[in-house]
Structure 1
């Protein structure tokens, strides 16, 4: 960690330039937001970690203005939390939020897939199949999250509902941190791959009812799994924190005198 970042936990040397010179289509604030989001997803920026504007600005060699814009964007997407007199920090993981994200996704994606199926073509179905296979072969959890989202969105794109697609895309981004938790448990990747294959087959058959049922079950199941995992982890952490601390030598000596 360099002195220039003053404690900002991103290693620019390991990651390469975080603000590439040739980004004419992206604003500086967008590039910063993307870099911070990636650091939150991969755990470099842990839940509760402070997001200090001055340190971030020095790290990216920019003024405070694009940093403020980036932090506002992350806050609106649920990645960051701002508190009066405390500044911004990485939003904590929440069992209830994880479940709710997937409940909403279930409703929206059931709608989207029903609208999309009549408009699928041989070309769009080939693309969905290729993306499904790419996700199945992917072993890296970070890349899997991206391939998973691409597969899902390929099923809904023919619906021709850009606002619905934007809403689903936002929820995918909100759920990235949580989805990585699921695929930290290796047994669940195979289960998810099987569910994706069954969903693709239903779309290929143009079976709207089956596809809607499968996508709803897939997403609701993920939400319940994440809720249970995070709840149990929080309970275990609370129990550990409440355990009596071992008494030191001085305390034992005092009690024995």
Structure 2
């Protein structure tokens, strides 16, 4: 791959160090789509950034075909938007989308944890506890997001509902760039750690009602926090944009005697 982006603002190569020369087109498009998602989540590709097909193809040293397929894929998942005469751009952050993602997660994860608790074993509970502690000790927001996902999914895995797990996993991916906003604020990371500990305790006790109540409150609270944060930020940016620009002073003129 080439580091030259020419309109595709990736500061580092994609996750895979190279694309196999004989890779099927479908797998190539998946690699590109995953790299684009990662760049959007970590902020390398900011909301509104152009996703130029030719620049992406040069960056990955591929033809336009797998790039076109990758762009279609991330657009269908909500990561990008296509507009006439504007091409494809990174989708903006949306307060309403953030809240809705967490509302849906609360319903699905409440179902999953209720199905999982009767099937937890000493080994799966130890794994969940280890993942909970690892997330609590993780100071890096981007790594915390990954540990957060691993902890949540470990609570639901014993449910043995692969389609439900796939849906929850997709929503986790959709919510990643929103979650990074929350964990950029140390106060809210501490709150989440405490909520995780309470959730784990309910699962360890086998208390389905308490665990469902904990996970719903945890997720709905995150959704409301993100909705409020993004709404207030948008209002502040709009107010700033409408402020009159300061006028420069007129130069003094002097007259001869």
Q: Give yes or no for TM over 0.5.
A: yes
Change (3 A) 1:17 1:109: closer
The answer to whether residue 205 in structure 2 is matched with residue 205 in structure 1 is: yes
Note the residue ranges of structure 2 that are not aligned, 5 or more in a row. 253-257
Q: CA deviation at 1:3?
A: 8.9
C-alpha distance after superposition, 1:149-182 (max 9, x if no partner): 0100111111111111111000000000000000
In structure 1, how many angstroms separate the alpha carbons of the residues matched to 2:3 and 2:33? Answer: 22
Structure 2 equivalent of residue 19 of structure 1: 18
Determine the C-alpha separation between the residues in 2 that align with 1:17 and 1:98: 29
What corresponds to 2:46 in structure 1?
46
Q: Secondary structure at the match of 2:199?
A: helix
Per-residue CA deviations over 1:218-255 (Å, capped at 9, x if unaligned) read 000000000000000000000100101111346x88xx
Q: Residue 44 of structure 2 aligns to a residue in which SS?
A: coil
Shift of 1:31: 1.2
Map 1:54-203 → 2, pairs under 5 A: 54-203=54-203
Q: What are the ranges of 5 or more consecutive residues in structure 1 without an aligned counterpart?
A: none
Q: For 1:226 and 1:191, how far apart are their aligned partners in 2? A: 14
Counterpart position of 1:234: 234
Q: 1:214 to 1:22 in 2, by over 3 A?
A: farther
CA contact (8 A) 1:12 1:18 kept: no
* Alpha-carbon distance change, 37 to 170 in structure 1, aligned in 2, over 3 angstroms: same
Rounded Cα–Cα distance in structure 1 between residues aligned with 2:97 and 2:158: 29
Q: What's the TM-score once normalised by structure 1's chain length?
A: 0.91
Instruction: Indicate if the aligned counterparts of 2:202 and 2:210 stay in contact, CA closer than 8 A.
Output: yes
4+ long deviations beyond 6 Å: 22-26
- Over residues 33-92 of structure 1, what are the superposed CA-to-partner deviations in whole Å (9 max), with x where a residue is unaligned? 111111111111110001011100001101111111111111122111111232110000
Q: Aligned pairs, how many?
A: 251
Deviations 1:179-227 (A, max 9, x none): 0000111111111011001101100101000000000000000000000
1:244 alignment counterpart: 244
| Root-mean-square deviation over aligned CA pairs | 2.2
Q: How far apart in 1 are the matches of 2:93 and 2:244? A: 26
| DSSP-derived class of the 1:175 partner | helix
Provide closer, same or farther for how the CA distance between residues 23 and 157 of structure 1 changes in structure 2, counting only shifts above 3 A: farther
Separation of aligned partners in 2, 1:41 and 1:157: 25
Q: 1:23 to 1:34 in 2, by over 3 A?
A: farther
